[in-house]
Structure 1
């Protein structure tokens, strides 16, 4: 099978690429290094020649709902148009569990992406997953100083590697529409994850948890990001991830 990966160098994309190749698939990365500009829509049709499935794990770090919507809608429409022209038969998009009632901030963009995929011309699968084990570290890295501010966020995190394996599983099957949600093995609190990661990395910083305002903050604190009853749970705990090679490969903090 020939699988194109949009966002192939990102947190999940690198594992999708590795997993697909390990299973014997031919992988086509969609990136500027391969002559593709997803936002501008350039170079996509040509590189998708002969591709069976596109796995979209592109990302935009932003708290602006308008920026997030514009990015995800634009990239998705360009991908779907090119896939239609190239005869691609399956589009797999990664999204986030529990965001239906959080049409704000970054999640507004993911909901917009889902709507474009579901109304588009290419048979599709939307794979929702929990926040990654890597998420707390990404937030910590973006903050300077002795104090780290973490939003009140109830989550059920999952290793990015496990999400990638799930996405390749879905790419190997027929389009499903909304796939069963994928979450981690344990309910967690984001600030606690940050404290445990700092302690593991032997870094002295104070983590302060705050409740973010508005619909976005309410959604983070509501527990909806832990997913519903209908889900598949992975087995890699946050502690196992901390002591494993993926955390070491991420550069720690």
Structure 2
């Protein structure tokens, strides 16, 4: 059930989770002595809800997110407020996934995001700051207290098979990094003429730039420079060819420079 964040006696808003509260030693000893089996069962149940393990995570169903993004969320639905409280007691991570418009079910791939800032509001809502990290494939999913939880397997790109392929990929990445920095400089200069919101977005993206020595991560960052349709982001998320993702990212950047959008 969804619990509020007010003291049950005085109704004062309390910005804390049950795990941060002091435990009454006397009461704890009495419960363990008189109800040992129930105590162990309840403790195991709570640990399972909070610590799902490395291969399971709660899902926030909203949009296609790719690695190397920063975003903000306003959490107001009771089921997701409960989910966020449990996440903040655990590893601060969840998966973000989109719905398939044809089936109405979540798509087969998601992106792990980390809650870097969590601002609880007096009425139980949350304002979150997130950073996306790695992608995963959903093996199976189920409902838990109103929200979705999934067992996942982590997805990485297929590595180059020869030294020549590694060299070609590194050269492509370095060339793309040079072009991206130049593109960013021009975009920031244009945004400084009056589009402060656009400038803020560009500065946030720039702060996430990875080293070209990590081509896979760089390829996703490159794709965040332009606003792509959900279907395009989903293709990039499923793609396991680093070089192809970089080439698509460059096409997107050049299309923006020409003042058009890829259809």
TM-score range, shorter chain: under 0.3
Higher Rg of the two aligned structures: 2
TM norm structure 2:
0.22
